[in-house]
Protein backbone atom coordinates (compact mmCIF):
# COMPACT_ATOMS: atom_id res chain seq x y z
CA UNK A 1 0.00 0.00 0.00
CA UNK A 2 2.76 2.47 0.92
CA UNK A 3 4.68 1.73 -2.29
CA UNK A 4 1.50 2.26 -4.28
CA UNK A 5 0.92 5.62 -2.59
CA UNK A 6 4.47 6.79 -3.24
CA UNK A 7 4.21 5.85 -6.92
CA UNK A 8 1.18 8.10 -7.14
CA UNK A 9 3.19 10.93 -5.58
CA UNK A 10 5.96 10.44 -8.13
CA UNK A 11 3.51 10.37 -11.01
CA UNK A 12 1.30 13.29 -10.06
CA UNK A 13 3.36 16.48 -10.01
CA UNK A 14 0.44 18.89 -10.21
CA UNK A 15 -3.27 18.25 -9.91
CA UNK A 16 -5.43 19.28 -12.86
CA UNK A 17 -7.78 22.24 -12.61
CA UNK A 18 -10.97 20.33 -11.84
CA UNK A 19 -13.14 23.42 -12.22
CA UNK A 20 -12.93 23.00 -16.00
CA UNK A 21 -14.10 19.38 -15.80
CA UNK A 22 -17.46 19.38 -14.09
CA UNK A 23 -17.90 15.64 -14.56
CA UNK A 24 -15.19 14.80 -12.02
CA UNK A 25 -16.46 14.02 -8.52
CA UNK A 26 -15.41 16.43 -5.77
CA UNK A 27 -12.38 15.70 -3.62
CA UNK A 28 -14.07 15.20 -0.26
CA UNK A 29 -11.69 16.53 2.39
CA UNK A 30 -14.22 18.18 4.66
CA UNK A 31 -15.10 15.51 7.24
CA UNK A 32 -11.77 13.93 8.26
CA UNK A 33 -12.70 10.56 6.77
CA UNK A 34 -10.21 7.91 5.68
CA UNK A 35 -9.95 7.59 1.88
CA UNK A 36 -10.17 3.78 1.77
CA UNK A 37 -13.08 1.36 1.98
CA UNK A 38 -13.07 -1.14 4.87
CA UNK A 39 -10.45 -3.87 4.64
CA UNK A 40 -11.25 -7.36 3.40
CA UNK A 41 -11.29 -8.81 6.90
CA UNK A 42 -13.73 -6.19 8.17
CA UNK A 43 -15.93 -6.44 5.10
CA UNK A 44 -16.08 -10.24 5.44
CA UNK A 45 -17.06 -9.96 9.10
CA UNK A 46 -19.81 -7.46 8.30
CA UNK A 47 -21.09 -9.65 5.46
CA UNK A 48 -21.34 -12.64 7.78
CA UNK A 49 -23.23 -10.49 10.28
CA UNK A 50 -25.73 -9.43 7.60
CA UNK A 51 -26.59 -13.09 7.02
CA UNK A 52 -27.71 -13.26 10.65
CA UNK A 53 -29.48 -9.92 10.73
CA UNK A 54 -32.74 -11.65 11.66
CA UNK A 55 -31.24 -12.12 15.16
CA UNK A 56 -30.75 -9.40 17.75
CA UNK A 57 -27.18 -8.34 18.58
CA UNK A 58 -25.65 -8.89 22.01
CA UNK A 59 -27.47 -6.52 24.34
CA UNK A 60 -24.44 -6.20 26.60
CA UNK A 61 -21.91 -5.92 23.72
CA UNK A 62 -19.53 -8.25 25.57
CA UNK A 63 -17.55 -9.50 22.56
CA UNK A 64 -17.08 -6.00 21.18
CA UNK A 65 -16.09 -4.64 24.59
CA UNK A 66 -13.61 -7.47 25.04
CA UNK A 67 -12.05 -6.74 21.63
CA UNK A 68 -11.63 -3.07 22.50
CA UNK A 69 -10.33 -3.82 26.00
CA UNK A 70 -7.72 -6.27 24.71
CA UNK A 71 -6.57 -3.76 22.09
CA UNK A 72 -6.10 -1.13 24.83
CA UNK A 73 -4.65 -3.48 27.44
CA UNK A 74 -7.63 -2.98 29.77
CA UNK A 75 -10.40 -5.10 31.25
CA UNK A 76 -13.84 -5.05 29.65
CA UNK A 77 -15.32 -3.60 32.84
CA UNK A 78 -13.63 -0.33 31.88
CA UNK A 79 -15.23 -0.18 28.42
CA UNK A 80 -18.56 1.17 27.18
CA UNK A 81 -19.50 1.10 23.48
CA UNK A 82 -22.25 3.09 21.86
CA UNK A 83 -23.63 4.45 18.61
CA UNK A 84 -20.73 6.85 18.00
CA UNK A 85 -18.55 8.75 20.46
CA UNK A 86 -20.97 11.67 20.16
CA UNK A 87 -23.60 9.57 21.92
CA UNK A 88 -21.14 8.90 24.73
CA UNK A 89 -20.14 12.53 25.28
CA UNK A 90 -23.84 13.41 25.48
CA UNK A 91 -24.42 10.53 27.89
CA UNK A 92 -21.59 11.71 30.14
CA UNK A 93 -23.11 15.18 30.35
CA UNK A 94 -26.48 13.67 31.30
CA UNK A 95 -24.85 11.53 33.99
CA UNK A 96 -23.30 14.40 35.91
CA UNK A 97 -25.15 17.56 34.86
CA UNK A 98 -28.48 19.16 35.60
CA UNK A 99 -29.83 22.72 35.49
CA UNK A 100 -27.75 25.01 37.68
CA UNK A 101 -24.41 23.21 37.29
CA UNK A 102 -21.49 24.10 35.11
CA UNK A 103 -19.13 22.64 32.50
CA UNK A 104 -15.95 23.80 30.77
CA UNK A 105 -15.23 23.32 27.08
CA UNK A 106 -12.59 24.44 24.56
CA UNK A 107 -13.11 26.61 21.48
CA UNK A 108 -12.73 26.42 18.59
CA UNK A 109 -13.30 22.70 19.00
CA UNK A 110 -15.88 19.98 18.45
CA UNK A 111 -19.31 21.62 18.50
CA UNK A 112 -20.97 18.68 20.25
CA UNK A 113 -19.53 19.65 23.66
CA UNK A 114 -21.65 22.79 23.77
CA UNK A 115 -24.71 20.89 22.56
CA UNK A 116 -24.24 18.15 25.19
CA UNK A 117 -23.97 20.63 28.04
CA UNK A 118 -26.92 22.69 26.81
CA UNK A 119 -29.19 19.68 26.43
CA UNK A 120 -28.23 18.52 29.94
CA UNK A 121 -29.30 21.92 31.26
CA UNK A 122 -25.82 23.02 32.31
CA UNK A 123 -24.19 26.38 31.87
CA UNK A 124 -20.75 26.32 30.25
CA UNK A 125 -17.60 28.37 29.95
CA UNK A 126 -15.81 28.48 26.61
CA UNK A 127 -12.00 28.59 26.82
CA UNK A 128 -9.68 29.47 23.94
CA UNK A 129 -6.73 27.44 22.69
CA UNK A 130 -3.01 27.93 23.20
CA UNK A 131 -0.77 29.29 20.43
CA UNK A 132 -0.19 25.78 19.05
CA UNK A 133 -3.89 25.09 18.51
CA UNK A 134 -4.08 22.75 21.52
CA UNK A 135 -5.92 22.88 24.84
CA UNK A 136 -4.87 25.83 27.02
CA UNK A 137 -4.90 23.75 30.19
CA UNK A 138 -4.03 26.57 32.57
CA UNK A 139 -6.86 28.67 31.17
CA UNK A 140 -9.26 25.73 31.46
CA UNK A 141 -8.49 25.38 35.15
CA UNK A 142 -9.48 28.96 35.91
CA UNK A 143 -13.30 28.66 35.51
CA UNK A 144 -13.58 25.40 37.48
CA UNK A 145 -15.62 26.14 40.60
CA UNK A 146 -17.94 24.50 43.14
CA UNK A 147 -20.70 24.02 40.55
CA UNK A 148 -18.44 22.55 37.85
CA UNK A 149 -19.26 18.93 37.03
CA UNK A 150 -17.48 18.20 33.75
CA UNK A 151 -14.60 19.39 31.58
CA UNK A 152 -14.20 18.42 27.92
CA UNK A 153 -10.75 18.26 26.34
CA UNK A 154 -10.18 17.52 22.65
CA UNK A 155 -6.75 16.01 22.11
CA UNK A 156 -5.62 16.30 19.31
CA UNK A 157 -7.98 19.22 18.92
CA UNK A 158 -10.50 19.43 16.12
CA UNK A 159 -10.22 21.61 13.98
CA UNK A 160 -6.64 22.70 14.67
CA UNK A 161 -4.80 19.42 15.29
CA UNK A 162 -2.84 20.67 18.30
CA UNK A 163 -1.81 18.11 20.94
CA UNK A 164 -1.10 18.22 24.66
CA UNK A 165 1.11 15.38 25.86
CA UNK A 166 0.06 12.65 28.26
CA UNK A 167 2.30 14.34 30.83
CA UNK A 168 0.43 17.62 30.37
CA UNK A 169 -2.90 15.84 30.82
CA UNK A 170 -1.58 14.18 34.00
CA UNK A 171 -0.54 17.56 35.44
CA UNK A 172 -3.96 18.98 34.58
CA UNK A 173 -5.78 16.08 36.25
CA UNK A 174 -3.72 16.51 39.42
CA UNK A 175 -5.05 20.07 39.69
CA UNK A 176 -8.70 19.28 38.91
CA UNK A 177 -10.97 18.37 41.85
CA UNK A 178 -11.72 14.64 41.88
CA UNK A 179 -15.47 15.38 41.82
CA UNK A 180 -15.13 16.92 38.33
CA UNK A 181 -15.33 14.51 35.39
CA UNK A 182 -12.58 15.10 32.80
CA UNK A 183 -13.53 13.79 29.36
CA UNK A 184 -10.62 13.58 26.91
CA UNK A 185 -11.95 13.20 23.39
CA UNK A 186 -9.30 11.21 21.50
CA UNK A 187 -11.11 10.78 18.18
CA UNK A 188 -7.82 11.30 16.31
CA UNK A 189 -5.46 9.61 18.75
CA UNK A 190 -4.28 6.94 16.30
CA UNK A 191 -2.67 9.63 14.12
CA UNK A 192 -0.46 10.96 16.93
CA UNK A 193 3.25 10.58 16.16
CA UNK A 194 4.70 12.82 18.88
CA UNK A 195 4.25 10.13 21.57
CA UNK A 196 2.98 6.54 21.79
CA UNK A 197 -0.68 6.20 20.87
CA UNK A 198 -1.40 4.42 24.17
CA UNK A 199 0.45 6.99 26.32
CA UNK A 200 -2.77 8.28 27.89
CA UNK A 201 -4.24 4.86 28.73
CA UNK A 202 -2.11 4.49 31.86
CA UNK A 203 -3.71 7.64 33.29
CA UNK A 204 -6.89 5.66 33.89
CA UNK A 205 -5.16 3.83 36.75
CA UNK A 206 -4.22 7.13 38.37
CA UNK A 207 -7.43 9.13 38.01
CA UNK A 208 -10.93 7.81 38.73
CA UNK A 209 -12.49 10.93 37.18
CA UNK A 210 -10.90 10.46 33.74
CA UNK A 211 -12.77 9.24 30.64
CA UNK A 212 -11.06 8.58 27.30
CA UNK A 213 -13.34 8.71 24.27
CA UNK A 214 -12.35 7.12 20.96
CA UNK A 215 -14.11 6.27 17.71
CA UNK A 216 -14.05 3.90 14.77
CA UNK A 217 -15.10 6.74 12.45
CA UNK A 218 -11.65 8.20 11.81
CA UNK A 219 -8.51 6.04 11.69
CA UNK A 220 -10.51 2.80 11.46
CA UNK A 221 -12.41 4.21 8.47
CA UNK A 222 -15.86 3.10 9.63
CA UNK A 223 -17.67 6.44 9.87
CA UNK A 224 -20.85 5.04 8.35
CA UNK A 225 -21.26 2.42 11.07
CA UNK A 226 -21.38 4.91 13.99
CA UNK A 227 -19.29 3.23 16.68
CA UNK A 228 -17.55 4.96 19.58
CA UNK A 229 -16.18 3.72 22.86
CA UNK A 230 -15.24 5.04 26.28
CA UNK A 231 -12.48 3.81 28.57
CA UNK A 232 -12.98 4.83 32.19
CA UNK A 233 -13.20 3.68 35.79
CA UNK A 234 -15.48 0.62 36.03
CA UNK A 235 -18.22 2.55 37.85
CA UNK A 236 -18.34 5.20 35.09
CA UNK A 237 -18.28 2.63 32.30
CA UNK A 238 -21.08 0.70 34.01
CA UNK A 239 -23.17 3.85 34.34
CA UNK A 240 -22.73 4.49 30.62
CA UNK A 241 -23.76 0.93 29.80
CA UNK A 242 -26.81 1.06 32.06
CA UNK A 243 -28.06 4.32 30.54
CA UNK A 244 -27.38 3.39 26.91
CA UNK A 245 -30.28 2.63 24.60
CA UNK A 246 -30.70 -1.12 24.21
CA UNK A 247 -29.23 -2.67 21.06
CA UNK A 248 -27.72 0.69 20.05
CA UNK A 249 -24.73 -1.23 18.69
CA UNK A 250 -26.16 -3.21 15.77
CA UNK A 251 -24.83 -6.63 14.81
CA UNK A 252 -22.99 -5.43 11.68
CA UNK A 253 -21.20 -2.74 13.66
CA UNK A 254 -20.43 -5.24 16.41
CA UNK A 255 -18.79 -7.58 13.89
CA UNK A 256 -16.76 -4.70 12.48
CA UNK A 257 -15.50 -3.75 15.95
CA UNK A 258 -14.26 -7.27 16.61
CA UNK A 259 -12.61 -7.56 13.19
CA UNK A 260 -10.92 -4.16 13.14
CA UNK A 261 -9.53 -4.69 16.65
CA UNK A 262 -8.20 -8.14 15.72
CA UNK A 263 -4.72 -8.92 14.35
CA UNK A 264 -5.59 -8.49 10.65
CA UNK A 265 -7.61 -5.34 11.24
CA UNK A 266 -4.90 -3.86 13.44
CA UNK A 267 -2.26 -4.51 10.77
CA UNK A 268 -4.34 -2.68 8.16
CA UNK A 269 -4.96 0.16 10.62
CA UNK A 270 -1.22 0.62 11.22
CA UNK A 271 -0.44 0.60 7.51
CA UNK A 272 -3.14 3.09 6.62
CA UNK A 273 -2.37 5.43 9.51
CA UNK A 274 1.32 5.37 8.55
CA UNK A 275 0.37 6.37 5.00
CA UNK A 276 -1.73 9.30 6.23
CA UNK A 277 0.95 10.47 8.67
CA UNK A 278 3.57 10.32 5.89
CA UNK A 279 1.33 12.44 3.70
CA UNK A 280 0.72 14.87 6.56
CA UNK A 281 4.48 15.32 6.93
CA UNK A 282 4.88 15.85 3.18
CA UNK A 283 2.05 18.37 2.94
CA UNK A 284 3.29 20.30 5.97
CA UNK A 285 6.81 20.48 4.52
CA UNK A 286 5.47 21.77 1.21
CA UNK A 287 3.28 24.37 2.89
CA UNK A 288 6.19 25.48 5.04
CA UNK A 289 8.46 25.84 2.02
CA UNK A 290 5.77 27.89 0.28
CA UNK A 291 5.20 30.15 3.30
CA UNK A 292 1.57 29.07 3.55
CA UNK A 293 0.39 29.63 7.15
CA UNK A 294 -0.98 26.54 8.90
CA UNK A 295 -1.12 24.90 12.34
CA UNK A 296 1.18 21.86 12.72
CA UNK A 297 -1.07 18.87 13.30
CA UNK A 298 -1.11 15.54 15.12
CA UNK A 299 -4.36 14.48 13.45
CA UNK A 300 -5.43 13.52 9.92
CA UNK A 301 -6.15 17.11 8.93
CA UNK A 302 -4.51 20.52 8.77
CA UNK A 303 -5.85 23.93 9.73
CA UNK A 304 -4.94 26.50 7.07
CA UNK A 305 -4.77 30.00 8.52
CA UNK A 306 -6.19 32.92 6.57
CA UNK A 307 -9.43 34.21 5.15
CA UNK A 308 -11.75 31.21 5.17
CA UNK A 309 -13.82 32.39 2.21
CA UNK A 310 -10.76 33.01 0.05
CA UNK A 311 -9.09 29.69 0.91
CA UNK A 312 -12.34 27.79 0.37
CA UNK A 313 -12.83 29.43 -3.02
CA UNK A 314 -9.33 28.50 -4.15
CA UNK A 315 -9.81 24.91 -3.00
CA UNK A 316 -13.20 24.63 -4.67
CA UNK A 317 -11.63 25.75 -7.96
CA UNK A 318 -9.57 22.55 -7.77
CA UNK A 319 -12.60 20.47 -6.85
CA UNK A 320 -11.67 20.24 -3.15
CA UNK A 321 -14.36 20.31 -0.47
CA UNK A 322 -12.94 21.51 2.87
CA UNK A 323 -14.47 22.84 6.10
CA UNK A 324 -14.30 26.62 6.66
CA UNK A 325 -14.12 28.04 10.19
CA UNK A 326 -14.68 31.74 9.58
CA UNK A 327 -14.59 32.81 13.23
CA UNK A 328 -11.47 30.74 13.91
CA UNK A 329 -9.71 32.33 10.95
CA UNK A 330 -9.09 29.47 8.60
CA UNK A 331 -10.08 26.25 6.87
CA UNK A 332 -9.70 22.63 7.98
CA UNK A 333 -8.67 20.23 5.24
CA UNK A 334 -8.41 16.46 5.62
CA UNK A 335 -5.23 14.63 4.65
CA UNK A 336 -6.27 12.26 1.87
CA UNK A 337 -4.63 10.34 -0.93
CA UNK A 338 -1.48 11.84 -2.48
CA UNK A 339 -3.27 13.08 -5.61
CA UNK A 340 -5.97 14.66 -3.44
CA UNK A 341 -3.37 16.41 -1.31
CA UNK A 342 -1.62 17.57 -4.47
CA UNK A 343 -4.85 19.29 -5.53
CA UNK A 344 -4.84 21.13 -2.19
CA UNK A 345 -1.22 22.18 -2.63
CA UNK A 346 -1.86 23.33 -6.20
CA UNK A 347 -4.74 25.52 -4.98
CA UNK A 348 -2.53 27.18 -2.38
CA UNK A 349 0.48 27.97 -4.56
Q: What is the pLDDT of residues 108-141, one digit of tens each?
A: 999 999 999 999 999 999 999 999 999 999 999 9
pLDDT band (50, 70, 90) for residue 349:
confident
**Total tally of structural domains belonging to the chain:** 2
- The answer on pLDDT for 12 being more than 90 is no
The percent of residues above 90 in pLDDT, for the chain, comes to 91
- Same domain for 138 and 73: yes
Statement to judge: residues 216 and 333 lie in one domain: no
CATH number of the domain encompassing residue 100: 3.40.640.10
Contacts 24+ apart (CB under 8 A), 232-235: 232/78, 232/80, 232/204, 233/78, 233/204, 233/208, 233/209, 234/75, 234/77, 234/78, 235/208
pLDDT at 269 over 80: yes
Is the pLDDT at 4 greater than 70, yes or no?
Answer: no
Are 169 and 293 in a shared domain?
Answer: no
pLDDT of residue 13: 34
Least confident of 9-13, 164-168, 185-189, 294-298: 9-13
Of the residues 199, 231, 262, which one is the last residue of a structural domain? 262
Q: Band the pLDDT of 67: cuts 50, 70, 90.
A: very high
The predicted structure's pLDDT at residue 7:
45
Does 275 lie in the same domain as 248? no
Mean pLDDT over 71-79 rounds to 97
Looking at every residue in the chain, the average pLDDT score rounds to 93
CATH of residue 333's domain is: 3.90.1150.10
Give the per-residue pLDDT at 23. 52
What are the DSSP calls for 29-45, one per residue?
A: -SS---SSPPPHHHHHH
Q: Are 155 and 163 in contact (CB under 8 A)?
A: yes
Between 309 and 25, the higher pLDDT residue:
309
pLDDT of residue 24: 62
Domain that holds residue 214: 40-262
Whole-structure pTM value: 0.90
Same domain? 45 vs 90: yes
Amino acid sequence: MLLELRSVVDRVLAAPDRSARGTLPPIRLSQNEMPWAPSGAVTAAMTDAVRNAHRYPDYHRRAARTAVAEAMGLTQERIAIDNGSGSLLHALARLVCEPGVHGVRPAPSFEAYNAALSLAGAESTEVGLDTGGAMDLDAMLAPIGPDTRIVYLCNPNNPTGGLRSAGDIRDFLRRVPARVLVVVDEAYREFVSAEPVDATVGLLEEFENLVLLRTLSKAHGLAGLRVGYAAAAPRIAEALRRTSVGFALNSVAEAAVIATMGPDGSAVLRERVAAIVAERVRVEATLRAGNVPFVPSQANFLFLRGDAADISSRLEARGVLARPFQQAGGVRVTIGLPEENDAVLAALR
